[in-house]
Structure 1
Amino acid sequence: MPTPPSPTPQVQALVSYLEHESQPMIVLDPDYNILAANTAYQRQFGTADRPYLGHKCFRVSHHYDVPCDQAGEHCPMRRAFELKGPDRVLHIHHTPRGPEHVDVELRPILDGDRQVVAYVERLTTVKHASARANQAGLVGRSPAFNTALESVQRVARSQLPVLLQGESGTGKELFARAVHEVSDRHGGPFVVVDCSGLPETLFESELFGHEKGAFTGAMHRKPGLVETAAGGTLFLDEIGDVPLGMQVKLLRLIESGTFRRVGATETQQADFRLVAATHKPLQQMVADGSFRQDLYYRIAAFPIYLPPLRERAGDIPLLVDSFLQRGGKAASTVVIQPAAMARLQAHNWPGNIRELRNVLERARLFADDGVVRPEHLPEWLHGRPHPLPPAAPATSASPPPAPARDVDAEIRRMVQDGQLSRREMAESLGLSERTFYRRLKALGLS
């Protein structure tokens, strides 16, 4: 075991100061050696069989033989040295409990000549996400997942509105809850408003509440979801579906922090942190006039991109293990054969994590002996098309069926012709832009 270097008086003074900190903190020299650690670090990351004093930080935290930047990761020490200032990064560290997401903030200690003599590193374990299979919450460790998680850590303690953007099924509500749980409002309510599930006639009443007699059927005063979220977080899910008429009132709520119940004359003060989410292209909707530009800029102060599952395919085994652990005591014994796992990893998952979860819940019902095999997976995971419902029987008055269209041939022809935009080509084929884009990628034309 290496002998820890003798700490200088400056380092000794640092250690004495760090003992008053509740967060785990260590002192490093410019050669990556851990010189000292406070009690909080020893309790959370140190064990009798896990020596760290005198060892390289990258060996202790990552089990690497070289510094992080030489192993393909961001090295906060390298960046802090270049900046002569602090740097922050989200890493996955090896801990006594296994791999964990850790928010690392590193600050250089400079002498009178502005030369780095040591570094102080603060480590915060991310509790709302897991780098191991887990029965609840966010799970992942891929670079794309970690980038989104790091953004959550950075913005959560501010009051900035957050806009979560990603395809359906990417876990937007879980990320919204993570923002809430890390924020200073975590003790308050987390209120979800499903903007796609509210008709325009009810939207204002649900959001702002109403007075008794405000409309037919309003038999008593009802607080709205904005009032319910007081002291906490208001999550507007699928905000791209908010009707234009309501967008004006939503903008006024966000700008002024006030609202009125339907049928009331008194103005109420709102008190919430706003998190919004959508799978729709809001910037394109602003351009075509279906979403207000001023509202967009209000809600998009801090956008976070949530990657689709195909961009974090390395997380699929971790997610599979997590989903198989969920659903009761019997679920903990369910395992998956390597051949079945290979089928899952080969799929493109247009429905993302929600689709993967549904497939596994179905497969579990067929795994009588607790083993998920390839034959327990849907047929379309074996390269076969989705089964279609049987066609209605033809009648004497029915016209003859139209000849089948060769959509791929039409796509090739239109791309070669080059006269239409991607959106126009999709519309002419009766496809959504997302479906059309997937066809382009499959044909090698993207």
Structure 2
Amino acid sequence: MSQIIASDTDQRLAHMLEGHDCPAILVDADYRILAANDAYCDSFGAIPADSDAHCFQISHGYSVPCDQAGESCPLAEARGSGHRERVLHVHLTATGRQHVDVEMLPIHDDDGELLYFVELLKPVHIASAELSTQQMVGRSPAFNALINNLNLVAPHDTSVLLLGESGTGKELAAEAIHRASHRGDRALVTVECAGLTETLFESELFGHAKGAFTGASQNKPGLLEAAHQGTLFLDEIGDVPLGMQVKLLRLLETGSYRAVGSTQLRSAEFRLICATHKDLAAMVERGEFRRDLYYRINAFPVHLPSLRERHDDLQLLARSILGKLAGEKRLHLTDSAIRRLGRESFPGNIRELRNILERAIIFAHSNVIDARVIERCLAVPTPTLAADSTPAPDPPETWTDLRTRERRYLRDLLRHCHGDKERAAAIAGISLRSLYRKLETGNSTP
């Protein structure tokens, strides 16, 4: 039974709210809340009867409508258009602030005159507007626009391309999309595309058959098999070798693939999310990325704002990150520390902020982290890097450079395989003897 808030409310319209399975309120053209359904009272709390409550007061604590307080107002927009309008807002609840998907439905009389509005409020769970060590956090307009896009695309199987500078949280965004999708109970499989050769990328993604290459002593399933009916996340898609881009496009177009060294055609069913900090459009023009693949993965591009674009979130982010790093240890980040952090430009974005706070835990002599501790953290010398949006061109590599990179990759791979040289050689697509030779050559090099 709907709660009647204003005594002059049309009870038929109030009872109509129970036809919605999400929180809903009835509002007049002057923003006055007339009635609320049970789902609203359960989620946001009951509104006192005859309280002359207005939606902007109850939802935000504002004294004026949202569009006069610097936010978009779905009621004003619906009144102007005469059609339903929607927006993502941060609402006050009994448990704190919460992201809410708000949809405003105008109600007209038989003559077309606008009488009332039904406001549908659907809580968004892919991010937090309060301190959280598990989710993306923020309240700024730039962050809300991001969450709105992620929330819109999550229920669909549309391919998503996450764009933004390094350290902006693209992997967290991919996880949020996956969890909110109908595939959320299936696997999210991440493929780190950076640093993989074409052969290794193909083997990792498609798998390989026994005898496909020297050291392939048994069949190895690829990551595509693990991602079946789930989500495949290709991180740093701009680093996929050109030769492999053809095979990746064929996979996306046909939904089928062959393991390396196998003639058996296999099917793959998954949702695709890609991410990159590179300018793919510019790479297409330079011939470094296939145009057809670019348009195939760019069905729904989503920009992740830099930390500079969401400066208002710095305090919430810093305290959430510190809570995650500290674990059970209770640490206090002072207002002076927040102000000092606020003077930084953070070219490394959230990842850089995390590094600073990790140093702060080490440098702090107590559980209090103040501006002096932050100053000491910032005094640690770090290399200056070119901005991600305009990457500096790589210098031409010599044969020695390539050999050095190969040795470094093989050592990292061996650590990943916990010292199992046979497995490392198989993944790298080389013989065990070649692995020994390449590593020994590296050890003898001055």
TM-score (norm. length: structure 2): 0.81
Question: Which shows bigger deviation, 318-327 or 171-180?
Answer: 318-327
The DSSP-based 3-state class of the residue aligned with 1:303 is strand
State the distance in 1 between where 2:301 and 2:79 align.
29
- 2:351 aligned with 1:354: yes
Question: CA distance change for structure 1 residues 149 and 12 in 2, over 3 Å: closer, same or farther?
Answer: closer
**Aligned-pair distance for 1:387?**
6.4
1:339 to 336, 341, 351: 336
Q: CA deviation at 1:220?
A: 2.2
Distance across 2 between alignment mates of 1:288 and 1:197: 20
State the alpha-carbon separation in 2 of the partners of residues 258 and 197 from structure 1: 25
Following the alignment from structure 1 to structure 2, what is the Cα–Cα distance between the partners of residues 251 and 260?
13
2:208 pairs with 1:206: no
Name the SS of the counterpart of 2:79 in structure 1. helix
What is the match of residue 126 of structure 1?
124
SS at match of 1:230: coil
* Native 8 Å contact 2:359 2:377 kept in 1: no
Contact 1:190 1:235 in 2 (8 A): yes
Deviation at 1:283, TM superposition (A): 0.6
Match of 1:98 in 2: 96
Q: CA deviation at 1:423?
A: 7.8
Which residue does the alignment assign to 1:141? 139
Q: CA deviation at 1:239?
A: 0.2
Contact map agreement 1:106 1:121 (CA 8 A) in 2: yes
1:289-368 correspondence runs (5 A): 289-331=287-329, 333-368=330-365
Compared with structure 1, are the counterparts of its residues 16 and 347 closer, same or farther at alpha carbon in structure 2 (3 Å cutoff)? closer
Runs of 4+ off more than 6 Å: 50-53, 426-430
| Partner Cα distance (1:429, 1:192) in 2 | 30
Following superposition, the deviation at residue 240 of structure 1 comes to 0.3
Does residue 239 in structure 1 map to residue 237 in structure 2?
yes
Corresponding residue for 1:43? 42
Count of residues in Structure 1 that have an aligned counterpart in Structure 2: 388
Structure 2 residue aligned with 1:11: 13
Question: In the TM superposition, what whole-angstrom CA distance separates every residue of 1:411-438 from its partner, at most 9, and x where no partner exists?
Answer: xxxxxxxxxxx989x76999xxxxxxxx
Cα deviation, residue 214, structure 1: 1.9
Check if 1:225 corresponds to 2:223: yes
Alignment match, 1:64: 62
Q: Is the 8 A contact 1:46 1:52 kept in 2?
A: no
* Long gaps (5+) in structure 1: 389-421, 431-446
Q: Sequence identity, in percent? A: 49
SS at match of 1:249: helix
How far residue 115 of structure 1 moved from its aligned partner, in angstroms, is 2.4
Shift of 1:10: 4.3
Mapped partners of 2:382, 2:78: distance in 1 = 56
C-alpha change, 1:429 and 1:183, in structure 2 (3 Å) is closer
User: In 1, distance between residues paired with 2:50 and 2:205?
Assistant: 53
Deviation at 1:377, TM superposition (A): 2.9
Partner of residue 30, structure 1: 29
Which 5+ residue runs of structure 2 have no aligned equivalent?
384-388, 397-446
Cα distance in 2 for partners of 1:165, 1:427 equals 20
Aligned residue type for 1:4: A
Give the Cα–Cα distance (whole angstroms) in 2 for the partners of residues 387 and 216 of structure 1: 42
CA–CA distance in 2 between the matches of 1:3 and 1:87? 24
Q: For residue 13 of structure 1, report the CA deviation from its aligned partner.
A: 4.7
Out of 184, 193, 196, the residue aligned to residue 195 of structure 1 is 193
SS at match of 2:263: coil
**Take 2:351 and 2:61, find their aligned partners in 1: how far apart are those partners?**
34
Q: TM-score, normalised by structure 1?
A: 0.81
